[in-house]
Amino acid sequence: MSKLVTIFGGSGFVGRYIARRMAQEGWRVRVAVRRPNEALFVRTYGAVGQVEPILSNIRDDASVQAAVTGADVVINCVGILSETGKNTFGLVQSHGAARVARLSAEAGVGRFVQISAIGADPAAKSDYARTKAEGEQAVLQAMPEAVILRPSIVFGPEDQFFNRFASMSRLGPILPVVGAETKFQPVYVDDVARAAVKAALGQAKPGIYELGGPDVNSFRELMAHMLSVIDRRRLIVNVPFPVAHVMGMTLDLVQKLSLGIIHNGMLTHDQVRNLAKDNVVAADAMGFDDLGIEPVALEAVLPEYLWRFRPAGQYEEMKKSGKNLRT
């Protein structure tokens, strides 16, 4: 019988790519998610019955235990960018990761892969970055031979970064950004999946890997490149950090006072804290080179999914060509 991998958050942005690649490797894939009815699409990643979504919540011992029982490998992709309801950074990224690792160890799981993030730091001011680090520490305590992957900002067709700002660019002549000079090292989502699969197959030595693409760019440079891809001219305006802090706190307060009915999906105070720090691979960190992976460049992928934000969408190039025709 083929081996079994349980992927927590396996229908999410990164998790779905890992699930697909593990299925291609011939593994049975158990996709552990809170809403399996919304993850039925993962079944198409393999043969009939090879990839199955199951109900599991990393805040609950019993459902996590059921999900890891019988698994040879467990991969935890669960993470949040902002807090909503009971899904707080602490419960999801710290306690949740600890629970998955502890119960995996008790179930005799052979290998464990944790998807974290560059910037994870137990002393960070950001709750996001601090709880990512706490989750890493808990994982290593329960599974000392685990592989932890820390990607920089991840891009791909379903990303919440370039898609979000490309959509914003259609609203007016100005594109506001916080931390315009902050450095990023964008990494393609399928490259992160390739790294996770290497770890799952035992082709990566235990430890922490920082994953970044071939290029380092400022936030402003990334937005300029994105605008060139979608063929729009916008003035990129940097929002000063003092102003951004006030904006983030105000929007957080609105969410709190509305009891979560109004969700702050625009800018949180915690995100402002994160944007104050560069998000690039450390010089002494293990990375793609150690995994034998050559990361894909940004310019090779962005046009494939941002074309819909061009003024004429898929017909933009045809429109340009038409201007050159002589009547």
Instruction: Give the DSSP letter of residue 151.
Output: E
**Cβ(320)–Cβ(240) under 8 Å?**
no
Question: pLDDT > 70: what percent of the chain?
Answer: 95
- Section 127-143 average pLDDT: 98
Domain ranges of the chain: 4-154+186-212+280-295
2 falls in which pLDDT band (50, 70, 90)?
A: confident
What mean pLDDT value characterizes the chain?
95
- Section 125-139 average pLDDT: 97
Check residue 57 and give its pLDDT: 95
Check residue 264 and give its pLDDT: 92
Question: pLDDT > 90: what percent of the chain?
Answer: 91
Check residue 317 and give its pLDDT: 63
pLDDT tens by residue, 281-314: 999 999 999 999 999 999 999 999 999 999 977 6
Other CB atoms within 10 Å distance of the CB of residue 319: 13
- Section 307-322 average pLDDT: 72
Check residue 1 and give its pLDDT: 63
- Section 56-84 average pLDDT: 96
- Is pLDDT of 187 > 60? yes
Please state whether beta strands 174-178 and 154-155 pair in parallel, antiparallel, or not at all (unpaired). Answer: unpaired
Spatial distance between the Cα atoms of 134 and 111, rounded to a whole number of angstroms: 20
- Give me the sign of the Cα torsion angle 207, 28, 7, 278: positive
Q: In DSSP terms, which residues pair with 201 in a beta bridge?
A: none
Check residue 265 and give its pLDDT: 87
pLDDT tens by residue, 240-270: 999 999 999 999 999 999 988 898 989 999 9
Spatial distance between the Cα atoms of 224 and 2, rounded to a whole number of angstroms: 47
209: amino acid identity, one letter: Y
- Packed helices 189-200 and 15-24: angle between N→C axes, nearest 10 degrees: 50
Query: How far is residue 159 CA from its own chain's centroid?
Result: 8
176 falls in which pLDDT band (50, 70, 90)?
A: very high
pTM for this prediction = 0.94
Any idea which of 58-62, 83-87, 302-306 has the lowest mean pLDDT? Answer: 83-87
Any idea which of 15-19, 250-254, 272-276, 311-315 has the lowest mean pLDDT? Answer: 311-315
CATH topology of domain 4-154+186-212+280-295: Rossmann fold (3.40.50)
107 burial via Cβ count (<10 Å: 0-12, 13-18, 19+): middle
Question: Tokens representing 240?
Answer: 């000063």
Report for 77-86, 95-104, 310-319: range of highest mean pLDDT: 95-104
Question: Burial code of 81-98, b = ≥16 C-beta within 10 A, e = fewer?
Answer: ebbeeebbbebbbbbbbb
- Is pLDDT of 322 > 60? no
Spatial distance between the Cα atoms of 123 and 169, rounded to a whole number of angstroms: 35
Other CB atoms within 10 Å distance of the CB of residue 44: 9
In a 3-state reduction of DSSP, which class is residue 210? strand
- Is pLDDT of 323 > 70? no
Check residue 84 and give its pLDDT: 87
- Is pLDDT of 271 > 90? yes
Q: In DSSP terms, which residues pair with 32 in a beta bridge?
A: 8, 54
320 falls in which pLDDT band (50, 70, 90)?
A: low
Question: What's the N-to-C CA distance of the chain in angstroms?
Answer: 67
- Give me the sign of the Cα torsion angle 287, 104, 116, 296: positive
pLDDT tens by residue, 21-33: 999 999 999 999 9
Which helix (H) or strand (E) covers residue 245, if one does?
Answer: helix 241-257
Check residue 312 and give its pLDDT: 75
Check residue 259 and give its pLDDT: 87
Question: Tokens representing 51?
Answer: 């990839």
288: amino acid identity, one letter: F
Check residue 324 and give its pLDDT: 64
Q: In DSSP terms, which residues pair with 84 in a beta bridge?
A: 87
* Apex 159 CA angle, 288 and 178, nearest 5: 95
